[in-house]
Structure 1
Amino acid sequence: MRIFAIGDIHGGLRALIQLLNKMEVKDEDTLIFMGDYVDGWSESAQVVQFLMELSQKINCIFIKGNHDVWCEEWLRTGEVNPTWYMHGGKETMESYEHFSNEDKKKHLEFFETMKLYYLDDENRLFLHAGFTSMHGVEKEVFSNTFYYDRTLWEMALSMDNGIKTDSVIYPNRLKHYNEIYIGHTPTINYKSYLPMNAVNVWNIDTGAAFFGKLSGMNIETKEVFQSDDLPSLYPNESGRNR
């Protein structure tokens, strides 16, 4: 059995299908999606539908991202968050144009069942953004930290990789987990088109919402698979490159 962590999709269905084909996904594999399935490219609703159907055939774990929270709220209430609308929500709403109310209800239920984090049997933590509690995710006070926080990644980047875990200056919140996998902060912000590693944190978001690629990583071997860059797959669109 292989386990893959897959980065932020942001409505790029063509990239997702291309990535899964390159990974040659098998029925016995497990796919852990790091969140932000919507907002960006033109096929957000189609991505959600595809993932719902995929999960009927293969073991999938869906982490909830901040864009998913916005979309979920719109599906539930019909109210449009102005910040969401400006950051991909407009395109997501348009992608639902030909979906029935019953379809939207099923999508809402899908969003409602997503996990804020997932901890596997090997003590590897998966979540969209980060957490701040020095006692670990179970002691986190505010749930929105799981899909908004960037301090975990910023802290990991700033650390000296030579620091031992028993050092008095080693951050307590990193000691709880063997590895931590996140998305949310595109690695292209740091001029990297590949997933990045800092101490025991792996960032799988390689900027598919913008001009980067969609990435999947085998968490055992650390082999990386990628789609083409999203602008080449959606040449008549701008994604979130506004």
Structure 2
Amino acid sequence: MKRFMMSDIHGFYEAFETALNKVDFSGENQLFLLGDYIDYGPDSRKVLEKIKALQEIYGSQKVITLMGNHEKALLDWLEEYADINRHICGVEQYRDAEWLLSDADGDYGTLRSFLSARHFREFTEKEARLSGDSQNAEAVRLLLEDAGELLAWMRHLPYYYETERQILVHAGIAEWGGEDWLCVTSEALMVGKTTVSRGNFYKDVIAGHISTAKISGDRTYDGIWSDGSSHYYLDGTTWRSGKIPVLEYDAETGRYRER
């Protein structure tokens, strides 16, 4: 049995398709996707639809899809600004949303990928007449209308997955907890940990989130980085490299390799 792992697709559908060509779905093999499927690239919705379709074809225990910080931020934004459509007064309380059109999606690339052409045109025609809060609320209204089912599916993504050998997570865990790591690791840390862990741990920790170019100290590096011990990082900076590294684990040999 083999496990294939990748992370940080960030809306680059063609790179995702190329990476999927390296995955063998036969037998008991599994595919693990470690989060950050959206933002930066032009095809966020298309990437999510592909992942959802793969789960429908092979099952959610064969295609395991985890939450990333970009999905979490988008879902939090949706929840906060959806309330503005129900309660127009008191909008100041929503200014702490982490994912805002003016910040995370300033060029509207992610929004455009989710909306129908008609709704995106409707939004751009209205935006100049709307305040920042109203722009976000209108975008949320249209998103829920056009992609409500897809977004509902995304809301149920798990934050980690544990096997007999690995702990798979988007960003990392509180390793100081040892075998009790789950008791001391918050969901916020699982999707947002920015310190790179190194050295021995009782299981292998597989994560994305931090680019391997940054971890390696080589700005041109776009492959998988390992500390040679218990840690593997998969974020190959797809927005720059145009590729998504794939880590393969062979349960029979106990060995890893980059595909």
TM over 0.5: yes
Kindly report which structure 2 residues correspond to 1:162-241, keeping only aligned pairs within 5 A, or say none: 175=201, 177-189=202-214, 190-191=217-218, 192-198=221-227, 199-220=229-250, 221-225=255-259
Q: Which residue of 2 aligns with 1:56?
A: 56
Determine if contact 1:8/1:36 at 8 Å carries over to the other structure: yes
The secondary structure found in structure 2 opposite 1:137 is: helix
Q: Which digits, 9 at most, give the CA deviation of each residue in 1:77-122, with x for residues without a partner? A: 44694655434473211211219746522222222221111111x2
| CA distance in 2: counterparts of 1:4 and 1:133, whole angstroms | 23
| CA distance in 2: counterparts of 1:12 and 1:194, whole angstroms | 16
> Root-mean-square deviation (CA), in Å?
2.4
Determine if contact 1:75/1:105 at 8 Å carries over to the other structure: no
The number of aligned residues is 205
| CA distance in 1: counterparts of 2:12 and 2:79, whole angstroms | 23
Q: Which amino acid aligns with 2:192?
A: Y
| CA distance in 1: counterparts of 2:34 and 2:258, whole angstroms | 15
Q: Which residue of 1 aligns with 2:90?
A: none
- TM-score normalized with structure 1 length: 0.75
The secondary structure found in structure 2 opposite 1:57 is: helix
Percent of aligned pairs sharing the same letter: 22
Determine if contact 1:188/1:212 at 8 Å carries over to the other structure: no
The secondary structure found in structure 2 opposite 1:138 is: helix
Q: Which has the larger radius of gyration?
A: 2
Structure 1: 5+ residue runs without aligned partners? 160-173, 226-242
In the TM superposition, structure 1's runs of 4+ consecutive aligned residues that sit over 3 Å from their partners are 22-28, 74-85, 87-90, 99-103, 209-212
Determine if contact 1:133/1:139 at 8 Å carries over to the other structure: no
| CA distance in 2: counterparts of 1:201 and 1:138, whole angstroms | 17
The secondary structure found in structure 1 opposite 2:16 is: helix
Q: Which digits, 9 at most, give the CA deviation of each residue in 1:134-173, with x for residues without a partner? A: 224312253201111122x2x41xx5xxxxxxxxxxxxxx
Q: 1:222 Cα shift?
A: 2.1
Whether 2:71 is the aligned partner of 1:68: answer: yes
More helix, by proportion: 2
